[in-house]
Amino acid sequence: MPQPSNQPDFSLGANGLLPAIAQDVSSGKVLMLAWMNQEAYLETVSSGYATYFSRSRNTLWRKGEESGHRQRVVEIRIDCDADTILVVVEQTGAACHEGYASCFFRVLKSDNYTVDQPQVVDPHSVYKADSSSHRPTNSG
Amino acid sequence: MPQPSNQPDFSLGANGLLPAIAQDVSSGKVLMLAWMNQEAYLETVSSGYATYFSRSRNTLWRKGEESGHRQRVVEIRIDCDADTILVVVEQTGAACHEGYASCFFRVLKSDNYTVDQPQVVDPHSVYKADSSSHRPTNSG
């Protein structure tokens, strides 16, 4: 069996992108899943703040650059296959562009997904009204 | 802005596959990331045990079917875009085929990834020697 790389192996991801999970260091909540290419990963490591690759905008996405809801990196992990990244972060504000602490604010109850988390910030207060078309989603 | 689906939207994933994160209900650890197609998702919901789609074997992967290290579903969440699934589970044994509780057993320290978790089971005791070529990895 080939030994996995001791670094994230971006050649394993479609278009050089690997899934990156952000987890809150305080609550343990899984906050979001986004994507990193090597450039985003290296910037995450060097800057100490989570940086993703926005697939919709086809560019680096410095999480919180507009909203201020940055993610300070506490630790970075890779999985056994070196094809998924886990970033443990200190989240400012809300990870989710809809104002929830986590993007996973809906839970399955009797065949339907129901919101069971409070909004911690008003999403309208975060993004300027005229920039809504540029508002990043969790997957960029 | 289009409203996200109130069910996982498998049309959003390449080849109908969405990333699925498994999180341990007791420890809060992120255990692994794998992939689900609609069939795997529906079986996860109906059986109450995490079922993924193995990209390498191109078939459903009933996690723990061989090893016994099954994942009993406690709750299922979807993210704001309905394109990522979070399965909170009760993990039997070890999630990782390498014998670690979590696949994310390596952490970045000074430019290198270092194992900082104990193996909780002997991986050689889990899989039969003659079946190692069929041993699932975390991403299937």
In chain B, residues 82-101 whose CB comes closer than 8 Å to chain A? 83-84, 86, 96-98, 100
Q: Strand A30-36: give its sheet, edge to edge.
A: A30-36, A18-24, A85-91, A71-78, B106-109, B112-115
Distance from CA of B9 to the nearest CA of A (A): 13
Secondary element (H or E) of residue B54: strand B51-54
Interval B57-94: pLDDT, tens: 999 999 999 889 999 999 999 999 999 999 999 999 99
What pLDDT does residue B138 have? 53
What pLDDT does residue B126 have? 67
Q: Is B110 left (phi over 0), alpha (psi -120 to 50) or beta?
A: left
Q: How far apart are the first and last CA of chain B?
A: 35
DSSP H helical segments within B19-135, as ranges? 38-47, 123-126
In 3D space, the residue among A40, A90, A32, A87 whose CA is nearest the CA of residue A61 turns out to be: A40
- The contacts of residue B99 (CB under 8 Å, 6+ apart) are B119, B120, B121, B122, B123, B126
- How much is the pTM? 0.91
Q: Is B54 in CB contact (< 8 Å) with chain A?
A: no
Interval B102-134: pLDDT, tens: 999 999 999 899 999 999 999 887 665 444 333
State the pLDDT confidence band at B96, using cuts at 50, 70 and 90: very high
- pLDDT of B5 > 80? The answer is no
Distance from CA of B7 to the nearest CA of A (A): 7
Inter-chain contact B103–A113, Cβ cutoff 8 Å? no
In 3D space, the residue among B19, B54, B30, B98 whose CA is nearest the CA of residue A28 turns out to be: B30
What pLDDT does residue A130 have? 40
- pLDDT of A29 > 70? The answer is yes
What pLDDT does residue B130 have? 40
CA A56/CA B61 separation, integer angstroms? 30
CA B52/CA B18 separation, integer angstroms? 10
CA B4/CA B18 separation, integer angstroms? 15
Read off the DSSP letter of residue A16: G
Interval B10-60: pLDDT, tens: 999 999 999 999 999 999 999 999 999 999 999 999 999 999 999 999 999
B53 touches B60 (CB < 8 A): yes
B76 touches B10 (CB < 8 A): no
Inter-chain contact B84–A112, Cβ cutoff 8 Å? no
- Please give the ipTM for the structure prediction: 0.90
Which residue in chain B is spatially nearest to A4 when comparing CA positions? B137
Q: CB neighbours (10 Å) of residue B117? A: 17
